[in-house]
Each structure stands twice: as structure tokens, then as C-alpha cells.
Amino acid sequence: MENNLREKILETAKALFLEKGYKRTTINNIAKAAGISISTIYLHFSGKKEIFDTLNISENEQLKDIQNAKRASIIQTALILFGEKGYDGVSMDLIARKAGCSKASLYQYFSDKEELYSAVMQETPFYYNFLAIQPEIEGANLEDAIKKIGLAYLRIFDTPERIAFTRSIIRDSKQYPQVSNIYHKNGIGYVSRCVETVLKKSSMKLRKDVDLYLASKTYVGSLFGFAVQYKIVVGIDVKYSDEEVVETLTKIFLGGVLNTDTVQ
């Protein structure tokens, strides 16, 4: 029984230290959250410092894992809320409540709503998709590499949360141009840079009179157009698969940037 109570104190304290930080966590907070008296805590520990030292979480990798998991949970919650309610309809209070943390804890990760919104975009699934396919791209020819990027981009629109988020951007872009800029920079802009990087590795095969970044944006913009047409807008019959769309757009795109004199 005593051991169980001690473990309960430690478990409760750990959750509070992770949420509020060491300085803002008090013995009274721990007692209240654990549903016990302050005097009961002092039967097992001399004070807050002993509890913290016993947990040994200051340099523990587990702490980082928990913090990263909490941050990811906040971002996922924000993604869903921004998608449902738009940028204006979401407050930091609401995000904290839905994420199951205090507002003070939320501000430990993000200084304001715009920074959180930016994080939602910067940690878009495409970023992780691109990391996953990078080894394949490194060993692939130019056409296959471009196709892999195209497919990775289209597939981020397969989740309901991302679809809702994109709809909210389209709806709110006029009212919040700064938010639209964040979306563009970390969406089409980021993917276009990935395409441009791949192109530059085959620069000897490319036309010299083409702006590679602009060309890359036309490719990704076309992909986005298909995503809007077949995944964002409701009620349109899907006539082409992602693979068919990417296959056709890649051929058109490369036909415009490749130097025909170098193509065998």
C-alpha cells in the first residue's frame, strides 16, 4: 500500500513537471492532483527537490520522448481544429483544452497562435514523406525521382485532417494573408524546392533559359490543382489515379525543362 502511494506521488509529480516545469510545480499541486494531503507527501519525501531527483528526468531521454510526443499531440490537435474552425475560430485556450494541457504548458512549446500554425505547416506529412523517399531518390533517375516527389505530395491530401485544413486556408486566405504565406512557403514552396534540388543534380541535361524554381512551382502547382479538384472539392468523380496524374504531369514537366539535344 505504501509503495503504491509512493508510486502514485511520483507518477503524478512527473506529469506535472512535464506539463508545468519544475519551477511552477508545487507540493500543493502534486497533492491536489494525486488526491492526497500535503502531509502524506512529506511522509515519503522531504520536498519537491527529492521527488524531482528521484524521478531522474532532467537529462533522461524519456523526458525528451514525452515532450516530443506532447508537442506532436498539440500540433495534431491544432491541425484538426484549424481545419474545422479556420484560423480565426481557434484560440490558444481551445487548443490547450482539446490537447488536454494547461495554457501555460502550451506556451512552453509555442509563443503564440501564429507560431503554432506555422509548426502545423512546417511539420506537414510531406516533410516526413520526403525524408522517407530520399534514399530512393538518391539512386533514381531524374524522371523517377520527380515522380516519387509528386506521389508523396499528392498523398498528404488523403487524410481528412489535411483536407479540412486546406479547405480552411482557401476560405480564410483573404482575411489572413500572413497565414496564407505560411501555408504557401511550407506547402507548394517547400515541395518546389525539393523538385528544384533534384533538377539541379541533372543540370547538364536541362535548358539554360528556364528558371528551375519557377518551373518546379508550375509542376507542384499543377499537382495541387488536381488535389483540389479530386480531393478537396466534394462530389467530383475521380477519373484518374494519383499515379496517372503524376505520370502525365511529369512527362509534360520534363519535356519543358530538358534540353532536347541531350535527350537520347
Q: What is the CATH number of domain 125-257?
A: 1.10.357
Return the number of other C-beta atoms located less than 10 Å from residue 193's C-beta: 15
Residues forming beta bridges with residue 258, ordered by sequence position: 206
CATH T-level topology, domain 61-111: Arc Repressor Mutant, subunit A (1.10.10)
> Residue 72's pLDDT is what?
82
> Residue 63's pLDDT is what?
57
- Stretches in the chain below the pLDDT threshold 50: 59, 263-264
- Residue limits of CATH 1.10.10.60 in the chain: 2-55, 61-111
> Residue 173's pLDDT is what?
78
> What gap in Å lies between CA 196 and CA 52, rounded to an integer?
50
- Residue limits of CATH 1.10.357 in the chain: 125-257
Class of the CATH-defined domain 2-55 = mainly alpha
22 and 52 Cβ atoms separated by less than 8 Å: yes
The DSSP code for 240 is: S
